[in-house]
């Protein structure tokens, strides 16, 4: 198992470990074509579900994808990918990401800690270092896409991403209600302040798809994300309906898109992935 504090490996033996880590981050990023951070102002709106399903959809199209879980206090990526193993290091002391399939690998702090219910209690500088290690010290190889799942809000984690990856683009997830949209405007404001380009807005839990007949029912309302995108002059990437099968798939670590390929939700994820590939 990797001890994150020791995983700097070769870099740690350098005179200036922080500089060595930053160089490792630059070298890793040079081998990754596109970087996206999935964020939101509010918790529980579906960032991780969107990150995981977007990563799966891109990988399903043949792209090489890395998924980084920087939701350090609530890391859910391993559960949603069905991972139970822990991260290990290769002979050069680089972290080997956990492999979902030939095209998709991921790292998460959840896969570093033995007792899965342990709480992470880290201050900003430690979080900054861990996130940089998840980019620079992981043996990602050549990737088409790096998808970064951020925690809710505009704290240390998205700030580290913005500062470390100058060509990262934000995908902001919201639900249709006004209370969530108000927080989206804060995320937009954050991106503007830290000079991070916004790729677009996703409206999750937008209407309800009946699992029996696939009929759509208004649940939390529909269209708020699109209206916000339009009002702020940002691209709207699409609506993902509410579908209880997403919860079941996420909890079981099963791919929704593989299990229910012909549903509105699977088509919505595929359409968002197409926009990502086109953009
Ligand atoms: N479109 C949807 N339909 C039904 N359930 C959904 C949908 N999107 C997400 N969920 C469920 O809502 C819950 C929260 O989703 P998720 O963990 O993706 O949100 P999050 O924004 O990443 O949360 P956090 O604030 O913890 O980071 C999960 O149980 C997930 O399965």
Helices in 156-223 by DSSP H: which ranges?
A: 156-164, 178-193
Residue 229 and residue 188: Cα distance in Å, rounded? 10
The predicted pLDDT at position 40 comes to 94
pLDDT digits (tens, 9 = 90+) for 218-276: 877 778 889 999 999 999 999 999 999 999 999 999 999 999 999 999 999 999 999 99
The more confident residue out of 50 and 111 is: 50
Select the more confidently predicted residue: 78 or 97.
97
Nearest ligand 1 atom to alpha carbon 149:
22
In whole angstroms, give the CA distance from residue 252 to residue 246: 10
Q: What is the mean pLDDT of the chain?
A: 88
Q: Does the annotation flag 45 for ligand binding?
A: yes
Count Cβ atoms below 10 Å from residue 151 Cβ, excluding itself: 22
Q: Are 121 and 82 in contact (CB under 8 A)?
A: no
Q: Is 231 exposed, middle or buried (0-12, 13-18, 19+ CB in 10 A)?
A: exposed
pLDDT band at 1 (very low <50, low <70, confident <90, very high): very low
Of the candidates 95, 103, 116, the residue with the CA atom closest to the CA atom of residue 21: 95
Tokens of 86: 């822990």
4 pLDDT above the threshold of 60: no
Residue-level pLDDT at 121: 63
> CB–CB of 1/88 below 8 Å?
yes
Q: Residue ranges per domain, the chain?
A: 9-278
Answer yes or no: CATH 3.40.50.300 is held by domain 9-278.
yes
Residue 60 clears pLDDT 60, i.e. is over it:
yes
CB 71 near ligand 1, within 6 Å = yes
Instruction: Using the mean position of ligand 1's atoms as its centre, give its distance from the Cα of residue 48 in Å.
Output: 7
Contact predicate 80/192, CB 8 Å: no
Locate tokens 């991972």: which residue?
83
What is the pTM (predicted TM-score) of this model? 0.91
pLDDT, residue 46, reads 95
Q: For residue 219, list its beta bridge partners.
A: none
pLDDT at 237: 97
Name the closest-CA residue to atom 15, ligand 1.
46
Q: Of 10-19, 78-87, 149-158, 165-174, give the range with the top mean pLDDT.
A: 165-174
Please state the φ and ψ torsions of residue 169, each to the nearest 5 degrees: -120, 140
Question: Any idea which residue has 């590939």 for tokens?
Answer: 277
Ligand 1 midpoint to CA 15 (Å): 43
186 labelled ligand-binding: no
The C-alpha atoms of residue 40 and residue 92 are separated, in whole angstroms, by 36
Atom of ligand 1 nearest to the CA of 76: 17
Q: Is 246 in the pocket of ligand 1 (CB under 6 A)?
A: yes
Is the confidence at residue 6, as pLDDT, over 60? no
Per residue in 172-198, pLDDT (tens digit) is 999 988 777 888 889 999 999 999 999
Plot region of 46 (φ>0 → left; ψ -120 to 50 → alpha; else → beta)? left
Percent of the chain with pLDDT over 90: 58
């Amino acid at each position: 198992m990797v001890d994150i504090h020791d995983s700097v490996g070769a870099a740690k033996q350098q005179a200036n470990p922080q500089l060595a880590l930053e160089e490792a981050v630059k070298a890793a990023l040079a081998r990754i074509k596109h970087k996206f951070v999935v964020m939101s102002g509010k918790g529980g709106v579906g960032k991780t579900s969107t990150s995981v399903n977007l990563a799966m959809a891109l990988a399903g199209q043949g792209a090489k994808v890395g998924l980084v879980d920087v939701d350090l206090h609530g890391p859910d990526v391993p559960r949603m990918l069905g991972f139970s193993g822990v991260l290990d290091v290769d002979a050069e002391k680089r972290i080997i990401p956990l492999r979902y399939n030939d095209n998709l690998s991921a790292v998460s702090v959840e896969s570093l800690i033995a007792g899965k219910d342990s709480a992470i209690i880290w201050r900003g500088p430690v979080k900054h270092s861990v996130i940089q290690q998840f980019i620079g010290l992981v043996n990602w190889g050549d990737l088409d896409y790096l998808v970064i799942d951020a925690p809710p809000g505009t704290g240390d984690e998205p700030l580290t991403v913005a500062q470390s990856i100058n060509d990262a683009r934000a995908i902001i997830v919201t639900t249709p209600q006004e209370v969530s949209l108000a927080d989206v405007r804060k995320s937009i404001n954050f991106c503007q302040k830290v000079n991070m380009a916004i790729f677009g807005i996703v409206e999750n839990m937008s209407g309800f798809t009946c699992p029996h007949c696939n009929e759509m029912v208004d649940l939390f309302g529909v269209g708020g994300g699109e209206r916000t995108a339009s009002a702020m002059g940002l691209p709207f990437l699409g609506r993902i309906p509410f579908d209880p099968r997403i919860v079941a798939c996420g909890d079981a670590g099963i791919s929704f898109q593989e299990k229910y390929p012909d549903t509105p939700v699977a088509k919505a994820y595929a359409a968002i992935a197409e926009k990502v590939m086109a953009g």
